[in-house]
Amino acid sequence: MAQDSQYTEDNIRSLDWKEHIRMRPGMYIGKLGDGSSADDGIYILLKEVLDNCIDEFVMGAGKTIEIIIKDNVVSVRDYGRGIPLGKVVDVVSKMNTGGKYDSKAFKKSVGLNGVGTKAVNALSSFFKVESNREDKMKTAEFSQGELVVEEGPIDSSRRKGTKVSFIPDEIIFKKYKYRNEYVERMLKNYVYLNLGLTIVFNGEKFQSENGLKDLLEDNNSKEDMLYPIIHLKGDDIEVAITHSKTQYSEEYHSFVNGQHTTQGGTHHAAFRESLVKTIRDFYGKNYEASDIRKSVISAISIKVMEPIFESQTKTKLGSTDMGGNFPTVRTYINDFVGKYLDNYLHKNPDTAEKLLSKILQAERERKDLSGIRKLAKERAKKSNLHNKKLRDCRVHLGDMKKDRRLESTLFITEGDSASGSITKSRDVNTQAVFSLRGKPLNCYAMSKKIVYENEEFNLLQAALNIEESMDNLRYNNIVIATDADVDGMHIRLLLITFFLQFFPELIKENHLYILQTPLFRVRNKKETHYCYSMEEKNIAIKKLSGKPEITRFKGLGEISPDEFKYFIGDDIRLEPIMLDKTMSIEKLLEFYMGKNTPDRQKFIIENLKVELDLIEEDQV
Task: Give the CATH number, domain containing residue 325.
Answer: 3.30.230.10
Bond from prior residue into 153 cis (ω within 30 degrees of 0): yes
Domains contained in the chain, number: 4
- Report the 10 Å Cβ neighbour count for 431: 26
User: Could you say which of 552, 569, 597 is where a domain stops?
Assistant: 552
Sign of CA dihedral 559, 570, 314, 309: positive
- What pLDDT is attached to residue 356? 97
Percentage of the chain surpassing pLDDT 70?
85
Residue 12 lies in a domain: no
pLDDT band at 583 (very low <50, low <70, confident <90, very high): low
Whole-angstrom CA distances from 9 to 14, 17, 57, 65 are: 11, 21, 49, 50
Position 446 pLDDT exceeds 50: yes
pLDDT, averaged across the chain: 84
356 and 259 in a common domain: yes
Tell me, what's the pLDDT at 70?
Answer: 94
pLDDT single digits (tens) 191-222: 999 999 999 999 999 999 999 999 999 988 88
Of 392 and 385, more confident: 392
Same domain, 344 and 403: no
Give the residue-averaged pLDDT of 479-486: 85
Question: Is the Cβ–Cβ distance between 341 and 227 less than 8 Å?
Answer: no
User: Which pLDDT does position 33 carry in this prediction?
Assistant: 83
278 plus 179 within the same structural domain: no
d(CA 257, CA 240): 16
pLDDT band at 389 (very low <50, low <70, confident <90, very high): confident
pLDDT mean over 534-539: 90
- Band the pLDDT of 402: cuts 50, 70, 90: low
5-34 pLDDT, tens digit per residue, is: 565 656 555 667 788 888 888 888 888 888
pLDDT at 487 over 90: no
Q: Does the structure show a pLDDT above 60 at 618?
A: no
CATH number at residue 407: 3.40.50.670
pLDDT > 60? residue 610:
no
470 and 546 both lie in a single domain? no
374, part of any domain: no
Q: Tell me which of 309, 332, 364 is where a domain ends.
A: 364
Label residue 113 by pLDDT band (50, 70, 90). very low
More confidently predicted of 50 and 484? 50
Is 158 part of any domain? Answer: yes
Say yes or no: 56 and 150 in one domain: yes
Residues of the domain holding 537:
520-552
Q: Are residues 532 and 562 in the same domain?
A: no
Instruction: Work out the average pLDDT over 536-562.
Output: 86
Least confident among 2-11, 304-313, 510-519: 2-11
> Are 512 and 526 members of one domain?
no
Question: Is 176 found in the same domain as 42?
Answer: yes
pTM value is 0.82
Judge if 174 and 59 occupy the same domain.
Answer: yes
Torsion angle, alpha carbons of 187, 193, 198, 200, to 10:
0
pLDDT at 346 over 80: yes
- Let me know if residue 31 belongs to a domain: yes
CATH number for 101: 3.30.565.10
Residues 182 and 249 grouped into a single domain: no
What confidence category does residue 404 fall into, taking pLDDT thresholds of 50, 70 and 90? low
Find out whether 198 and 57 touch, Cβ atoms under 8 Å.
no
User: What pLDDT, on a 0 to 100 scale, did the predictor assign at position 108?
Assistant: 56
Q: 603 lies in a domain?
A: no
Query: Is 60 a member of any domain?
Result: yes
pLDDT digits (tens, 9 = 90+) for 321-330: 766 666 788 9
Query: Cα–Cα distance between 93 and 132 in angstroms, integer?
Result: 18
Give the pLDDT confidence of 273-298 residue by residue, as tens digits: 999 999 999 999 999 999 999 999 99
**Which of 140-154, 390-404, 461-475 has the weakest average pLDDT?**
390-404
One domain, residues 49 and 185:
yes
153 with 275, same domain: the answer is no
Distance CA 243, CA 241 (A): 7
Identify whether 593 is part of a domain. Answer: no
Note whether residue 401 is domain-resident: yes
